[in-house]
Amino acid sequence: MDLVTVWFIAIAVLWIGYFVLEGFDFGVGTLLPVLSRDDTDRRVMINSIGPVWDGNEVWLITAVGAMFAAFPAWYASLLSGFYLPLLVILLALIARGVAFEYRAKVDTDRWRAAWDLAIFWGSTLPALLWGVVFANVVRGVAMGPDQVVTAGLADLLNPYALLGGLTTLSLFTLHGAVFLGLKTDGEVRARARRAVPAIALVAAPAASTFLGWTQLAHGNAWTLPLVAVAAAALVLGVVLAVRGREGWSFTATAVTVCATTVVMFGALFPDVLPSTTDPAFSLTVHNAASAEYTLTVVSWVAAVFLPVVIGYQAWSYWVFRKRVTRAHIEPAAALGVPAARSGAAEAEQ
């Protein structure tokens, strides 16, 4: 296996880590107005992801940085072709991050409601648009010999891409509901468990149709078993959640997200961005890659720093492993509002 292929696999692994970890906190944000009945419920839900959401985004930064270093032509063409959806994702992530930090700054219902709205849309839009973007990457876009994508926004909103967006949004929402069952207690946990079958009614047909379409149109022999794994893990995750086995259920939904991402990257290889104008104009792992020397240097950098990042994140999950309940939520006055206390800081109580 050459170094170029190794880096394609490494980037796929980074995106898998991002979707599995950030997927559940996107789901919690999407479910915020659905599963909460008062502000204490909302603080329980926010505190369940408070200590980890920013660490989960490190996987996105690392994945994008790796694409820039290892496949600069792929990175440039993606930005040229998907500028608007990527800009919306970026703004949504910024709004969500600011909401986590500023929600507890002022003790008024109107202030908190505005930031809760930012958390909802800041979670829902990226969960939807990542599916749209990656489905278009697998399907291919109109691109000329200069490797500039000529497809417009209307071209990106094709049925296959919209189905991909519905798949990621529903899978992440399901993943988030299972996480809330694992991480919280009391009424929020009970509502999350009851929500799982309802979310599955959307996630199961959307994911099975999208994966089947991907396999038939772009798949190969080794991605077919992964389609079956994703479907089986999805069904198993729902059954285990209903039976109160949240830990195993969360593992199963993580496997579903992982297998779905592997199928997309497997269907894409050896291309990294197919051209629907002419297959000869497609970007592949070889014509989009950096020079051998650059890949070697980047490999050494990754070998040194990636274990540190993974180790730190594993430690943070271990430290904040206990369930969050209403008993852990102090009244706003006890927090010294409007004195500065962040959502992440609240999670430490």
Q: First-to-last CA distance in the chain? A: 49
Residue 318 · residue 310 · CB < 8 Å: no
Backbone angles phi, psi at 337, to 5 degrees: -60, 130
Residue 233 · residue 252 · CB < 8 Å: yes
Both tokens of 190, joined, read 């009970």
What one-character DSSP code corresponds to residue 318? Answer: H
In a domain, 344, yes or no: no
Burial tier of 301 (Cβ tally within 10 Å: 0-12, 13-18, 19+): exposed
pLDDT, one tens digit per residue, over 66-120 is 899 899 999 988 888 888 999 999 999 999 999 998 888 888 889 999 999 999 9
Contacts for 129 with CB less than 8 Å, ≥ 6 apart:
85, 88, 89, 165
In a domain, 184, yes or no: yes
In a domain, 345, yes or no: no
Q: Look up the pTM and report it.
A: 0.90
In a domain, 192, yes or no: yes
Residue 161 · residue 135 · CB < 8 Å: yes
What secondary structure does DSSP assign to 162-188, as a single string?
HHHHHHHHHHHHHHHHHHHHHHB-THH
In a domain, 339, yes or no: no
Q: Among residues of the chain, what percentage have pLDDT more than 90?
A: 54
pLDDT, one tens digit per residue, over 162-214 is 999 999 999 999 999 999 999 898 889 999 999 999 999 999 999 999 999 99
Residue 48, domain extent:
3-328
In a domain, 342, yes or no: no
Paired strand residues for 273: 283
Mean pLDDT of 222-238: 93
In a domain, 168, yes or no: yes
The SS3 of residue 92 is helix
pLDDT, one tens digit per residue, over 232-241 is 999 999 999 9
* Domain total of the chain: 1
Contacts for 175 with CB less than 8 Å, ≥ 6 apart:
20, 23, 24, 27, 250, 253, 254, 256, 257
Distance CA 43, CA 36 (A): 9
From the CB of residue 304, how many other CB atoms can be counted at a distance below 10 Å? 9
In a domain, 340, yes or no: no
* C-alpha dist (Å) from residue 143 to 34, 84, 108, 238: 41, 17, 51, 41
Asked whether the predicted pLDDT for residue 158 surpasses 50, the reply is yes
Residue 306 · residue 322 · CB < 8 Å: no
Place of tokens 């880590």: 17
- The residue type at 276: T
pLDDT, one tens digit per residue, over 10-39 is 999 999 999 999 999 999 999 999 998 988
